[in-house]
Each structure stands twice: as C-alpha cells, then as structure tokens.
A and B are shown apart, each in its own frame.
Chain A
Amino acid sequence: MTTWTLSLGQQRIRLRITPMRVVLYLVLIAGAFVAMFPFIWMILTSFKSYGEVTAGRFFPRELRWQNYVEAWNAAPFGRYFLNSLFIAMATIAGDLFSGILAAYAFARMEFPGRNVIFFLFLATLMIPGELTVLPNFLTIRRLGWYNTYQAQIIPFTASVFHIFLLRQFFMGIPREYWDAALLDGCSHFRYLWSIVVPLSRPAVVTVALLSFIGSWNAFLWPLIVTSSENMRPIQVGLRSFVVEEATQTQLMMAAATMVIVPIIIFYLFTQKYFTEGLTMTGLKG
C-alpha cells in the first residue's frame, strides 16, 4: 500500500492507492471515455474534410478551422443563437413558475378533487407529443401567433412531467416544517417561496435543465410555426447541412460543437444540482 501526498497550494490531499482503488479508477476512466467518445468524435470530425469523413479517418490530417467559418456563415447562426437563448430562458421561467405552483398545490394543499385532477394531469402523459402538434398549431394560428416567439414558448410553459417531478420532491419535505411555519403566521405563498423552493433546489434545477434541453433541441415545432429566419432557433440552422445524397458531416459537427458549448457551460454551473436532483428522492426527516 502506497500513500501519496499531493500539495495543492494550502490544501494537502492524501491518496491511498489500493488495488481496489486502481481497479475502480480504471473502470471509471473506461466509463468516462465511453461517455465522452461521441463528443471526442464530434470535435475531431469538425476539423476534417468531407473526404476524410467518408474515408473513415479517425484523426484529421490537419485542423481545418475553416469548417467553423464555413459553418458559421452557412446560416445566420448569431441570430438563431440569440433566438434559441431567449426562447429557452423564457420557457424555463414559465415552466418553473407554473410547475412550482401546481406541484405545491398537489403536494401540500387540500382541496376537493385534488387527486382526481392530478390523475387527469398524469393521464395526459399518455398522449404522444406528435398528436398534439396539429391541435397546437391550429390554436397558434387562431391566436395569430404564427411566426412569433410566443408560439415557440407558451405551449411549453407547462409540463405535466415536471409538475410530477416537483410534486414528488415537495412531498418529501417534512410536514412539521409547514406546521412550524403556520404557527409563525406564514401563508402558503410565503412558505412555498421561502422554505419549499430553497429546500428543493436540486429538483428545481433539474426541471430547469430538462426544460432547457427540450427547448434548445426543438426542431419540428419551431419550423412549423415560423416562416422567417429572424424567428427561428438554432436547430433549424443545423438542418442546412443536410443536402441531397450527402450530409456535410464535418460542417454539421463544427456547428454542433458551437451549439453545444452553451449547454456544456450551463451544465458546468448546475452539475451539482443536476446529479443531486436525479439521485435524491427527498429529505430525510
């Protein structure tokens, strides 16, 4: 058994190397490589020529930075990017607002028919998303929202799955907290925003992230409800690399790399909550 001491500034980390730990780390490294492989491939491919992509070369002969220039110029990515960002942020805000209120009501408030309504909400999860495209489109048309931001935001500002997720989390918060808050003269609204939401940060962030990913990746719906370039999101731009008889994979990957960077940055800031949100089932009383 060896013990290594690493000095990182003021901090000292002692690593004890045991055979078990070596195996563990090897497995973890292998797992990390498998998980990262698509990203590595994406980045390497973004520097290749079309011929290198079709020839199946893993490493590019040279780094073709011009792919990035060409990809950026292929579509108004600047505008698309801002559109996507705005739509995603507005969707998250709306989704969280409606989700938190509804989830709280279902988790903590007593009212007649609560479970029936919740059951009905859950039942809508059974309806495939494809089936709602047409009714949603007709609604948007009648409201005169064709080719607007709200057409891309409003339909996604309520998600049953997110309400369900938040409700389960809120239910895990001990009831005693509410009793104590009530004794201090706290209203439902105050209790929700001052106690429940801060305690549920992991769940809230998870919902925000899921909402963001959904919005960022949306393609068909924005394409159907928009007509002009200055309303369209980034995924529509990515589509421009699909041409007949060949997909310009290298350009698509260059654009994908540019598109994915904001998601990665967002994830880096929220990673802690994201993993917590997925692993925690509730507070321990």
Chain B
Amino acid sequence: MTRKLVYLTVALALVVGMLAACAPKATPTPEPTKPPAQAEPTKTQEELDPISQLDPSGQEVLFWHVSTRKHEKALMEIIDGFNNSNPYGIKVVPEYAGYYGDIYKKILAGIAAGETPDLAIGYANQVAEYAKAGVIVPLDPFMNSKKYGFTEEEKKDFMWNLLEGDRRPEFGGQYLSFAHSRSMQVMYYNVDWLKEMGYDGPPKTWAEFKEMCMKATDPEKGTHGYAYSGSASLFATLVFTFGGDIVTKDNQKVAFNSEAGLKALQLLKDLFDSGCAYEVAERYGDQKDFANRRALFTFGSTAGLPYYRSAIEESEAGPFNWDVDAPPHETPKPVVNVYGPSAAIFKSVPERELAGWLFLKYWAEPENVAKWAMTANYFPIRKSAIELPEMQEYMKKNPQYKKAFTLLPYGRMEPSVAGYQQIRGIIADMMKQVIEGADPQQALEAAAQQAQEVLDQNK
C-alpha cells in the first residue's frame, strides 16, 4: 500500500513537472519584442535615402499566398511577369500556405521557429500581430525611396482611403502592409420585387429600409424583408452608417459603445422584433434565400457578386433584376465598409526586403491590379486601372460591379489593430444576444468592456 502511495506521489510530481516544463513552450504566441522604431522622417532624407543605395540583384523572395484555382493562375501570371521582366534578376518563389486562418497559424509557427517567409498575404490585423513580434518591415521608406519608390504622380493615382487599414497608428503611422485590391460590403436588393411593391429605388434611410422589409414580409409565402447573416463586418457597416466608429483613430480605445453603436443594435432588435428580418442558418444562406426570392435584402461582400449572379440565374424563382447599393445611412453621405487582404514584407536582409517591395510595386501597376481585381471581383486601388479597356469591358458585362465601383469614394476601413480578430468574436456574440432578445444597451456595454480588455492586452 505504502509502495503504491509512493509511486503515485512520484508520478504526480513528474506529471506536474512535465506540464510545467511544457507550458511556456506550448504557448503559440511569439515572444514579445519591441515594435520597430518609430517612423523615421523619410522626407528629410530625400537626398541620401538608404533604400536607394541598395542593390537587390539576384535576390530570391519566398512568397506565401492563399490563392487557389483561378486566383492562383492570375497570381502566377503576375509573378511570372515580374520574374521575367525585372532588370535585377529577382526571383519570386510562390508557395501556397492555406487559407487566411491557416497561413496565420503557419506564420505564427514560423515566427517561433525563427523562419518566416519574405513576403506573405494576410489581413491587416494579422499583420499587426506579426509586427508586434518584430518581424515586419514598415513600407514607408520603400514607398518614398527616390530610386525604388512611387513617383508623385503614382502616389496621386492611389485611392489611399482604401489603404487606411494598412497604416498603423501604433507604429508611428507607417504602412506595414500594402493592398492591391479591396472589396466592400454592400446592400443587395431585388429590383423587380421593389417595383412590384411600388418603390422605384432602394432605401436611403433605415426607416425606409424597415418599411420595405415589412411590406415584403409574408409568413404565408415564407418571404421576409431581410435575410440576416451576422458578423462584425456587418456591425461595422451599421455603426458607420450611424456616423460612429469601431475603435478610435489612434487604435487605443473602443469607440462602438457610442450612440451610433446603440442605434445600430436597436435597429437590429427592431427588425427582428417586428418579424421582417430572420437569421440564416447556414453559411451563405442569405445568398441562397435572396436568389430564391425569399428575401428582399441581404448585405454582403462585392466579392460575392459572381456567385449571387449564378445563384440567381439558376434559381427556382427564375432570373430577376437585382442590384447593389450603399447601405441605408443616417450620415449626410453614404458610407461603405471596405475590406480585404494585404501583403506584408518580413524582415530579412535589406536587399531581399527591397526585392519583395519591387514585386509589390510591380503588382501595383495598373495592368496588374486590374487583372487581379477582375479575377477576384475586387476593386483596383488605383484610379488609372479603371480606364484600361479590359476593365471598361468588364464593367460593361457586370453592371452591379460598375455600380459598386461608384461607391468606392465612400469607403471606410474596419480597424486593423492587433487583437481585432478576437474583438470580432466579441462583437458577433453581442449581435447574437441582441437578436435573441437581450437589452441593446447592456449588451453593448458588456461587449465594449471585453473589447477594451483585448485592446489593452495587445498594446
């Protein structure tokens, strides 16, 4: 008996020791290192900027991406174009690293092992987390480099409001990533159905939206005004349309616990209480119900346009006229939530970092952003890309895309602060609680408090 007890005690001690030894190793977060130095005043260095003195000849750039099938094909064409045409003999080597969630995990493992790619695709908030581990190179010195950067004319051609999420207040306002295209969340609506109800256009205010939703709702026919699919992006859209924001401009404080945030939640609650909105059970179920004429409105990404189109063309309800527009808004001007992935350069040697930048710059040429945008049904981030004949042709064939394009100037970006992925979860839970009957004010305050804790932890 005593022997057994001794064994048991030894075993327990060993287990505890083992777990304790495992614990620090097992944490997947990389060791916190200091963020890169504050932005250097690059303007004053125009004469002698260090980047312009580098020679990127012969560098090989390892590029982790998330593209498959037609996206991958387009990306390979751009990469081949660069590899064959750049005068420095730089070679970009692409590697598929899974979808957004997968590549994120792969990079976190790589950071821990001390081996990261030279270039990778990611959402700006993921890049913010990599940057906290000290592995990301700010892009401003490259952009402003006399020899390798953008010319003043090129700079004027970019729609910088679409790149706002790549600029990091907590890293001295520098760009940590760069995007070549963006999509946005728009309102999809059934034109024919609205006409049948006696309306000649989409709703401009939320009151009109609700009125139309109520008219379209018919329990007997099983139709509703709004097929709701909740997400933090939708909440951001709603808050923007009431004139609010998700976090403060400096990314330090939660800002959605404002009047705008409350109005957004009250609107949701109201739509659900009055029975004209319902939550879809499956992913992209709103697309399905819209195509089958069971819902008058949905909100979704413009990247989904071709899928809406094919779903509508083949639906049982038969094809009908449909369009997209900015969400209803209480702000003087419309506002749309713009999002999309970016590309970031990882620290290596200055020459290879520059080689990575030169590829990003090549990718940003009008022909390439246009090609990339048309493949992903995204929008190019530079104005001149729109004037290209192939882009004009594409817009002619895709009227909803053209319509959405006119909304780009109203684009605003969701926050891209480190920890935002977690905050998105908190916001989604809050929305769920409210449509299930919770008090908007209480839910909002509780969520804001949790979100603030996440922001503080990620400082």
Contact = CB atoms under 8 A, between A and B. Distances in A.
Interface in A46-77: 49-52, 54-57, 74-75
Interface string A217-260: 00010011001110000001001111111110000000000000
A265 interface: no
A224 B7 contact: no
12 contacts: A51-B291, A55-B316, A56-B288, A116-B7, A120-B18, A132-B26, A220-B98, A228-B95, A229-B96, A244-B303, A245-B183, A245-B284
Name which of B10, B25, B96, B112 has the most chain A CB atoms within 10 A of its CB.
B96
A67 B275 CA distance: 40
Nearest to A240: B68
Contacts of A185: none
Contacts of B441: none
Interface in B200-257: none
Interface in A107-142: 113, 115-116, 119-120, 123, 127, 130-135, 137-138, 141
A134 B284 contact: no
Contact of B304 (A223, A241, A245): A245
A55 B288 contact: yes
Contacts of B98: 220, 223, 236, 239
Contacts of A119: 8, 11, 15
Nearest to A128: B26
A40 B112 CA distance: 44
Considering the complex of A and B, which 6 residue pairs feature the smallest CB-CB distances, nearest first?
A51-B314, A240-B68, A245-B304, A54-B311, A131-B26, A246-B307
A137 B109 contact: yes
B109 A239 contact: no
B379 to A, nearest CB: 14
Nearest to A61: B314
A51 B311 contact: yes
A233 to B, nearest CB: 13
B346 to A, nearest CB: 15
Given A135-B22, A228-B95, A55 B115 contact: no
A141 B26 CA distance: 16
Nearest to B106: A224
Name which of A123, A133, A134, A236 has the most chain B CB atoms within 10 A of its CB.
A134
A57 B317 CA distance: 12
Interface of A: 49-52, 54-57, 74-75, 113, 115-116, 119-120, 123, 127, 130-135, 137-138, 141, 220, 223-224, 227-229, 236, 239-247
B109 A54 contact: no
Nearest to A51: B314
Interface of A is mostly: helix
B291 A55 contact: yes
A141 B287 contact: no
Interface of B is mostly: helix
Interface string B1-22: 0000001101100110011001
Interface string B83-127: 000000000000111110010011001001101000000000000
Interface residues of B, number: 48
A240 B403 CA distance: 30
Contacts of B115: 141
B316 A135 contact: no
A245 B22 contact: no
B375 to A, nearest CB: 11
A49 B291 CA distance: 14
Contacts of A241: 68-69
Contacts of A137: 109, 112-113
Interface of B: 7-8, 10-11, 14-15, 18-19, 22, 25-28, 68-69, 71, 95-99, 102, 105-106, 109, 112-113, 115, 183, 283-284, 287-288, 291-292, 300-301, 303-304, 307, 310-316, 376
Contact of B18 (A75, A123, A130, A242): A123
A54 B307 contact: yes
Contacts of A236: 96, 98
A74 B283 CA distance: 23
Contacts of A120: 11, 14-15, 18
Nearest to A251: B69
Nearest to A227: B95
Contacts of A227: 95
Name which of B27, B183, B315, B376 has the most chain A CB atoms within 10 A of its CB.
B315
Contacts of A51: 291, 310-315
Contacts of A134: 25-28, 109, 112
B314 A55 contact: yes
Nearest to B71: A243
Contacts of B106: 223-224
Name which of B11, B22, B303 has the most chain A CB atoms within 10 A of its CB.
B11
Contacts of B27: 134
Contact of A240 (B8, B69, B312): B69
A174 B288 CA distance: 61
Contacts of A115: 7
Contacts of A247: 283-284
A65 to B, nearest CB: 18
Name which of A52, A244, A246, A247 has the most chain B CB atoms within 10 A of its CB.
A244
Contacts of B313: 51
Contacts of B113: 137-138, 141
Contact of A223 (B71, B97, B301): B97
Given A49-B314, A220-B105, A244-B183, 15 more contacts: A50-B310, A54-B314, A55-B291, A113-B7, A123-B15, A131-B26, A134-B26, A137-B112, A220-B102, A223-B106, A239-B98, A241-B69, A245-B183, A245-B307, A246-B304
